[in-house]
Chains A and B, each alone.
Chain A
Amino acid sequence: MAVRRVEHIMGLPISVDLRDGDAALAERAFAWLREADAQFSPFKPGSEVSRLDRGELTREELTPDLVEVLSLCDWYEQSTGGAFTARAPGRGLDPCAVVKGWAVQRAADMLRQGGATSFCVNAGGDVVTAGEPEPGKPWRVGVRHPDLADQLSVVLGVRDGAVATSALYERGQHILDGRTGQPVSGIVSVTVFSDDLAIADTTATAAFALGRDGIEWAAGQEGCEVFVVDEDRRVYSSPGLPVHIC
């Protein structure tokens, strides 16, 4: 039975397109995402993240899930020389950039463990897919054009995989380089394909924070294929990117 549902969690529209599963399975995935929001949101005073940030918890008292999230944050911070950071100067602990992809990947894993073999989860533009929407065809994941909201810059053909995009679509928006505190420039859109959304999403965010240096950096990440649009509207596409041929 096919299930199609959209719910807003963590401030994101989360769409589940389940081609072979039931409503109860989808509900379990959504329930986990609501739990993850309650546990990891820096905007909820009672969350584990907020309590850690206020010094109410020691490292030893943390749940294994938060330890995992924080170790991912640390790894990407080191790998980018601090351009990516969950602890910006003058701001509280904010692991959101890792939590979103990580939590949505786990929701997808729950769908798989529940027996679903064909689905697509889209959380505010970050995508996890499984199997095929119909026999012989991949999930066709369009990547939004950085300048034109109703157009695409490329279409990827994905079976079991994850696609995440970090981009600036409007003037006035900005992402800060954690090393300098200055707005990032050089690239306008980074899309990363990987087999895991936690990796794809964090790699895209970190690459964006690195600016132009992020292109080679992201392409060099293990298991990652990239599609980047720079300020001059040139496209960088790594050789293994699964571009869907129409």
Chain B
Amino acid sequence: MKRAIPVLALSVAGLVPVWIYSPGAAHEGELSEVAAPLAQEQTQQQAAPQTTAPQTTGAAPKTTQQQAQNRTVSGPAVNTSEGTVQVQVTLQGTKIVDVKALRAPNSNPTRMALPLLRESALKAQSADIDTVSGATATSEGYKQSLQAAIDGAQ
């Protein structure tokens, strides 16, 4: 259990850019689902980054031994171009249940969230979809595409 803390603290550092651009914008419940598999992945993929597709489907791993007590961990203060940011996470077992900014810059230049692609993609993989938007697919490229699979599935 103790070993998990540095890993999660690292992932908290990774969340800093997310947080400075979206004060109060993200739903905390969603974030906790995403953050847990992220922490796992970052440790697994250190040796060979970017080579394999994420295996998880976006659902947080189920912890069998639920701990009733919450713990809070503060991340390091990180200097960014927008100012100093420090976040605090609340853990229930190994699951992040709350994240809040201890220090956040006042400026909010884009009003847009700025998470990592992997975080967004992990959530998207578990969805059933009706169609796919992508850069212009040529008729040749279409055959191997997800959209062709959807069209053929009907």
Q: Kindly report which residue of chain B lies nearest to residue A137, judged by CB atoms.
A: B130
Q: What 0/1 pattern do residues 78 to 112 of B give for CB contact below 8 A with A?
A: 00000000000000000000000000000000111
Interface of A is mostly: strand
Is A127 in the interface zone, CB < 8 Å from B?
Answer: yes
Cα separation A238 to B147 with both chains bound (whole Å): 25
Contact A151 B139 (CB under 8 A): no
Q: What 0/1 pattern do residues 114 to 131 of B give for CB contact below 8 A with A?
A: 111111110111111111
Is A48 in the interface zone, CB < 8 Å from B?
Answer: no
Q: What 0/1 pattern do residues 104 to 126 of A give for CB contact below 8 A with B?
A: 00000000000000001010111
Knowing A6-B151, A12-B138, A152-B124 are in contact, say whether A237-B132 is a contact too (CB < 8 A). no
Contact A219 B139 (CB under 8 A): no
Q: Kindly report which residue of chain B lies nearest to residue A96, judged by CB atoms.
A: B136
Instruction: Write out the residue numbers on chain B whose beta carbons fall within 8 Å of the beta carbon of A140.
Output: 127-131
Contact B123 A246 (CB under 8 A): yes
Residue from A17, A149, A215 within 8 A of B131 (CB atoms): A17
Cα separation A4 to B154 with both chains bound (whole Å): 8
Q: Which A residues lie at the B interface, using CB under 8 A?
A: 4, 6, 8, 11-13, 15, 17, 100, 120, 122, 124-127, 129, 133, 139-156, 163-169, 189, 191, 215-216, 219, 229, 233-239, 244-246
Contact A151 B125 (CB under 8 A): yes
Contact A234 B115 (CB under 8 A): yes
Residue from B117, B129, B133, B147 within 8 A of A234 (CB atoms): B117
Knowing A17-B131, A120-B131, A239-B112 are in contact, say whether A125-B146 is a contact too (CB < 8 A). no
Cα separation A133 to B154 with both chains bound (whole Å): 13
- 14 A-B pairs (CB sep. < 8 Å): A13-B147, A15-B147, A125-B136, A127-B131, A141-B129, A144-B135, A147-B50, A151-B53, A151-B124, A152-B132, A236-B113, A237-B115, A245-B30, A246-B123
Cα separation A38 to B17 with both chains bound (whole Å): 49
Instruction: Write out the residue numbers on chain A whose beta carbons fall within 8 Å of the beta carbon of B77.
Output: none
Contact B132 A122 (CB under 8 A): yes
Contact B127 A244 (CB under 8 A): yes
Contact A149 B145 (CB under 8 A): yes
User: Which of B116, B123, B133, B137 is packed against the most chain A CB atoms within 10 Å?
Assistant: B133
Cα separation A24 to B33 with both chains bound (whole Å): 46
Knowing A13-B139, A124-B137 are in contact, say whether A148-B53 is a contact too (CB < 8 A). yes
Cα separation A153 to B129 with both chains bound (whole Å): 12
Instruction: Write out the residue numbers on chain B whose beta carbons fall within 8 Å of the beta carbon of A245.
Output: 30
Instruction: Write out the residue numbers on chain B whose beta carbons fall within 8 Å of the beta carbon of A124.
Output: 136-138, 142
Knowing A152-B121, A239-B111 are in contact, say whether A142-B137 is a contact too (CB < 8 A). no
Q: Measured between C-beta atoms, what is the minimum distance from A63 to chain B in Å?
A: 25
Instruction: Write out the residue numbers on chain B whose beta carbons fall within 8 Å of the beta carbon of A126.
Output: 133, 136
Cα separation A146 to B117 with both chains bound (whole Å): 9
Is B5 in the interface zone, CB < 8 Å from A?
Answer: no
